[in-house]
């Protein structure tokens, strides 16, 4: 029986993964770093301390990690100010699930980005609990962000469902013990091995039936 549902944000509710990739690549190039095609995939699921350190150590951005993170967040907020579009089925899925269960959000995005997206999409009222991976010890695929979200919800993770789109997100939710619903990211699809860890795979959130949750 499900006691709560925890959503990922980027790639599940809003299609912001390409925007994160663009903003980070621009910073690397502008500062003389060494961007490569696999960088985005390597950073997916990392917390902001982790990916800012990656940009510094591996991609050669000549700024302190804290400044890297702050710069990327500033540029993200500037882009998001122009508007944020929900992915197909997101608003309906959130509304229908919120009518049945308390909802949480477990995201790799920085806190200011989470707050901006929820405000601009009108979804904030549905999420009594939101957790950024910068608020826990480790980013995805470690289970920390999901364990913290379920802790704040007062729910046993083994009686919760997660909705995820990426390799590291699916692995994080599975490691935390949640029932995993995968909605594969079309731009950065999860690996077959990760997808096999999901309990249910859906093409889009439009296909989500709340009665399918255990």
Last residue of some domain: 30, 46, 80?
80
Q: Is the same domain home to 61 and 166?
A: no
How high does pLDDT run on average in the chain?
96
Number of domains in the chain: 2
Q: Is the same domain home to 125 and 52?
A: no
Nearest to 129 by CA among 2, 1, 3, 5: 5
Query: Could you report the per-residue pLDDT of 144-173, keeping only the tens digit for each?
Result: 999 999 999 999 999 999 999 999 999 999
Q: What is the CATH number of the domain that holds 65?
A: 1.10.150
Q: Is the same domain home to 169 and 70?
A: no
HEC sequence for the chain: CCCEEEECCECCCECCHHHHHHHHHHHHHHCCCCCCCCHHHHHCCCCHHHHHHHHHHCCCCCCCHHHHHHHHHHHHHHHHCCCCCECCCHHHHHHHHHCCCCEEEEECCCHHHHHHHHHHHCCHHHCCEEEEHHHCCCCCCCCHHHHHHHHHHCCCHHHEEEEECCHHHHHHHHHHCCEEEECCCCCCCCCHHHHCCCCEECCCHHHCCHHHCC
Beta partners for residue 161, in sequence order? 5, 179
pLDDT at 119 over 90: yes
pLDDT at 99: 97
Q: Is the same domain home to 93 and 27?
A: no
Domain with 51 in it: 17-80
The confidence band for 1, taking pLDDT boundaries of 50, 70 and 90, is confident
* pTM of the predicted model as reported, rounded to 2 decimal places: 0.94
């Amino acid at each position: 029986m499900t006691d709560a549902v925890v959503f990922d944000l980027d790639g599940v509710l809003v299609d912001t993964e390409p925007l994160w990739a663009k903003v980070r690549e621009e910073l690397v190039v502008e500062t003389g770093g060494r961007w490569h095609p696999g960088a985005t995939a390597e950073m997916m699921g990392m917390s902001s301390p982790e990916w800012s350190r990656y940009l510094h150590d591996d991609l050669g951005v000549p700024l302190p990690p804290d400044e890297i993170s702050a710069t990327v967040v500033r540029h993200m907020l500037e882009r998001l100010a122009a508007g944020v579009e929900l992915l197909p089925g997101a608003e309906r899925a959130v509304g229908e699930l919120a009518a049945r269960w308390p909802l949480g959000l477990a995201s790799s995005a920085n806190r200011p980005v989470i707050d901006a997206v929820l405000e601009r999409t009108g979804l904030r009222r549905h999420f009594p609990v939101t957790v950024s991976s910068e608020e826990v010890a480790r980013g995805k695929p470690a289970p920390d962000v999901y364990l913290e979200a379920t802790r704040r919800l007062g729910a046993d993770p083994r009686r919760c469902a997660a909705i995820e789109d990426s390799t590291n997100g699916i692995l994080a939710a599975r490691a935390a013990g949640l029932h995993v619903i995968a909605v594969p990211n079309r731009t950065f699809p999860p690996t077959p091995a990760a997808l096999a860890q999901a309990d249910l795979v859906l093409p889009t959130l439009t296909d989500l039936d709340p009665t399918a949750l255990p």
